[in-house]
Amino acid sequence: MEVVEESVGGLVVVRPAGDVPFDEVGDELLPPHWAELWPSAIALAEAPFPAGARVVELGCGLGLPSLAAARAGADVLATDLSATAVGLVRRSATRNGLTLRAEARSWTAVEGTFDLVLCADLLYGHRNVTELREVLPRLAPEVWLTDPGRPLAGELLADWHVESAPTGRPGVTLHRLSSS
Protein backbone atom coordinates (compact mmCIF):
# COMPACT_ATOMS: atom_id res chain seq x y z
CA MET A 1 0.00 0.00 0.00
CA GLU A 2 1.31 3.41 -0.91
CA VAL A 3 1.39 5.81 2.04
CA VAL A 4 1.83 9.50 2.68
CA GLU A 5 2.87 11.37 5.79
CA GLU A 6 0.66 14.11 7.17
CA SER A 7 1.65 16.49 9.93
CA VAL A 8 -1.06 17.13 12.51
CA GLY A 9 -0.42 19.03 15.72
CA GLY A 10 3.31 18.44 15.51
CA LEU A 11 2.92 14.70 14.94
CA VAL A 12 3.56 12.84 11.71
CA VAL A 13 0.74 10.45 10.80
CA VAL A 14 1.38 7.73 8.21
CA ARG A 15 -1.80 7.16 6.20
CA PRO A 16 -2.90 5.54 2.95
CA ALA A 17 -2.14 7.60 -0.16
CA GLY A 18 -5.31 6.68 -2.05
CA ASP A 19 -8.42 4.58 -1.88
CA VAL A 20 -8.27 1.76 0.62
CA PRO A 21 -10.01 -1.58 0.02
CA PHE A 22 -12.54 -2.81 2.53
CA ASP A 23 -11.07 -4.76 5.46
CA GLU A 24 -12.12 -8.34 5.96
CA VAL A 25 -12.57 -9.22 9.63
CA GLY A 26 -14.06 -12.62 10.36
CA ASP A 27 -17.11 -12.93 8.16
CA GLU A 28 -17.55 -9.19 7.67
CA LEU A 29 -16.29 -6.69 5.15
CA LEU A 30 -15.80 -3.39 6.90
CA PRO A 31 -15.49 -0.01 5.20
CA PRO A 32 -12.08 1.52 5.91
CA HIS A 33 -13.28 4.25 8.29
CA TRP A 34 -9.89 3.99 9.96
CA ALA A 35 -8.12 5.46 6.91
CA GLU A 36 -9.32 9.04 7.52
CA LEU A 37 -8.15 11.66 9.98
CA TRP A 38 -11.57 12.55 11.37
CA PRO A 39 -12.22 15.85 13.21
CA SER A 40 -13.08 13.90 16.38
CA ALA A 41 -9.66 12.21 16.39
CA ILE A 42 -7.91 15.54 15.84
CA ALA A 43 -9.91 17.11 18.68
CA LEU A 44 -9.13 14.23 21.04
CA ALA A 45 -5.43 14.46 20.18
CA GLU A 46 -5.49 18.10 21.30
CA ALA A 47 -6.61 17.17 24.84
CA PRO A 48 -4.09 17.53 27.70
CA PHE A 49 -3.04 13.94 28.43
CA PRO A 50 -1.72 12.99 31.86
CA ALA A 51 1.90 11.83 31.86
CA GLY A 52 2.39 8.34 33.24
CA ALA A 53 -1.25 7.31 32.77
CA ARG A 54 -2.10 3.87 31.41
CA VAL A 55 -4.19 4.65 28.33
CA VAL A 56 -6.07 2.51 25.80
CA GLU A 57 -7.59 3.84 22.60
CA LEU A 58 -10.47 1.82 21.19
CA GLY A 59 -11.05 1.85 17.44
CA CYS A 60 -7.90 3.91 17.00
CA GLY A 61 -7.84 4.08 13.20
CA LEU A 62 -4.71 6.04 12.32
CA GLY A 63 -4.04 6.47 16.04
CA LEU A 64 -3.55 10.22 16.32
CA PRO A 65 -4.92 10.41 19.91
CA SER A 66 -2.71 7.46 20.90
CA LEU A 67 0.32 9.18 19.41
CA ALA A 68 -0.51 12.40 21.29
CA ALA A 69 -0.94 10.51 24.57
CA ALA A 70 2.39 8.71 24.05
CA ARG A 71 4.07 12.03 23.31
CA ALA A 72 2.72 13.32 26.66
CA GLY A 73 4.36 10.39 28.46
CA ALA A 74 1.42 7.99 28.79
CA ASP A 75 1.77 4.21 28.55
CA VAL A 76 -0.47 3.61 25.51
CA LEU A 77 -2.23 0.65 23.92
CA ALA A 78 -3.87 1.51 20.57
CA THR A 79 -6.44 -0.99 19.27
CA ASP A 80 -8.38 -1.38 16.03
CA LEU A 81 -10.05 -4.23 14.17
CA SER A 82 -7.94 -3.48 11.11
CA ALA A 83 -4.46 -5.01 11.09
CA THR A 84 -3.58 -2.55 8.33
CA ALA A 85 -4.53 0.41 10.53
CA VAL A 86 -2.52 -0.99 13.44
CA GLY A 87 0.52 -1.40 11.18
CA LEU A 88 0.27 2.25 10.16
CA VAL A 89 -0.05 3.34 13.81
CA ARG A 90 3.18 1.48 14.55
CA ARG A 91 4.88 3.18 11.60
CA SER A 92 3.66 6.58 12.82
CA ALA A 93 4.96 5.89 16.32
CA THR A 94 8.37 4.94 14.93
CA ARG A 95 8.39 7.99 12.64
CA ASN A 96 7.72 10.23 15.67
CA GLY A 97 10.21 8.45 17.96
CA LEU A 98 7.39 7.34 20.28
CA THR A 99 6.82 4.12 22.16
CA LEU A 100 3.36 2.59 22.25
CA ARG A 101 1.73 -0.79 21.77
CA ALA A 102 -0.71 -1.28 18.90
CA GLU A 103 -2.84 -4.41 18.51
CA ALA A 104 -5.43 -5.57 16.00
CA ARG A 105 -8.39 -6.56 18.13
CA SER A 106 -12.00 -5.79 18.87
CA TRP A 107 -12.55 -3.51 21.82
CA THR A 108 -14.55 -6.35 23.42
CA ALA A 109 -11.31 -8.39 23.43
CA VAL A 110 -9.19 -5.72 25.15
CA GLU A 111 -7.96 -6.95 28.51
CA GLY A 112 -6.37 -5.14 31.38
CA THR A 113 -7.03 -2.17 33.58
CA PHE A 114 -6.26 1.36 32.46
CA ASP A 115 -6.46 4.85 33.90
CA LEU A 116 -8.09 6.28 30.80
CA VAL A 117 -9.94 5.05 27.71
CA LEU A 118 -9.89 7.15 24.52
CA CYS A 119 -12.75 6.95 21.99
CA ALA A 120 -12.97 9.18 18.91
CA ASP A 121 -16.29 9.11 17.01
CA LEU A 122 -17.29 5.52 17.73
CA LEU A 123 -21.04 5.98 18.27
CA TYR A 124 -22.22 5.42 14.71
CA GLY A 125 -24.14 2.18 15.31
CA HIS A 126 -26.24 0.51 18.04
CA ARG A 127 -23.85 -2.43 18.10
CA ASN A 128 -20.97 -0.10 18.97
CA VAL A 129 -22.96 1.55 21.77
CA THR A 130 -23.99 -1.84 23.18
CA GLU A 131 -20.41 -3.12 23.14
CA LEU A 132 -19.01 0.08 24.63
CA ARG A 133 -21.59 0.02 27.45
CA GLU A 134 -20.28 -3.46 28.27
CA VAL A 135 -16.53 -2.87 28.06
CA LEU A 136 -15.90 0.71 29.20
CA PRO A 137 -16.76 0.19 32.89
CA ARG A 138 -14.33 -2.73 33.19
CA LEU A 139 -11.45 -0.99 31.40
CA ALA A 140 -11.04 2.29 33.28
CA PRO A 141 -12.74 4.69 35.68
CA GLU A 142 -12.47 7.51 33.12
CA VAL A 143 -13.27 7.76 29.40
CA TRP A 144 -12.60 10.64 27.01
CA LEU A 145 -14.93 10.47 24.06
CA THR A 146 -15.10 12.94 21.21
CA ASP A 147 -18.30 12.95 19.22
CA PRO A 148 -19.58 15.03 16.27
CA GLY A 149 -23.17 14.94 17.55
CA ARG A 150 -24.21 11.43 16.61
CA PRO A 151 -27.80 10.56 17.64
CA LEU A 152 -26.68 7.54 19.69
CA ALA A 153 -24.41 9.56 22.02
CA GLY A 154 -27.12 10.01 24.64
CA GLU A 155 -27.61 6.26 24.88
CA LEU A 156 -24.01 5.75 25.99
CA LEU A 157 -23.62 8.92 28.04
CA ALA A 158 -26.65 8.09 30.23
CA ASP A 159 -24.60 5.46 32.10
CA TRP A 160 -21.89 7.86 33.28
CA HIS A 161 -21.22 11.08 35.14
CA VAL A 162 -20.42 13.35 32.17
CA GLU A 163 -18.65 16.66 31.75
CA SER A 164 -18.93 17.93 28.18
CA ALA A 165 -17.18 20.80 26.44
CA PRO A 166 -16.86 22.00 22.87
CA THR A 167 -13.50 21.47 21.19
CA GLY A 168 -11.62 23.58 18.69
CA ARG A 169 -13.23 21.49 15.92
CA PRO A 170 -16.66 22.63 14.67
CA GLY A 171 -19.46 20.40 15.94
CA VAL A 172 -17.16 18.10 17.94
CA THR A 173 -17.70 17.76 21.69
CA LEU A 174 -15.31 16.24 24.20
CA HIS A 175 -17.17 14.19 26.81
CA ARG A 176 -15.25 13.26 29.94
CA LEU A 177 -17.02 10.27 31.44
CA SER A 178 -16.34 9.00 34.93
CA SER A 179 -17.84 6.23 36.96
CA SER A 180 -18.15 8.42 40.07
15-19, 37-41, 70-74, range with the lowest pLDDT: 15-19
> pTM value?
0.94
Domain that residue 169 falls in: 3-178
Query: What is the tens place of the pLDDT at every residue in 22-42?
Result: 766 655 566 678 889 999 999
CATH code, 35: 3.40.50.150
Domain count, the chain: 1
Query: What is the tens place of the pLDDT at every residue in 144-172?
Result: 999 999 999 999 999 899 999 999 999 99
Can you give the pLDDT at residue 24?
Answer: 60
User: Which residues partner with 163 through β-bridges?
Assistant: 176
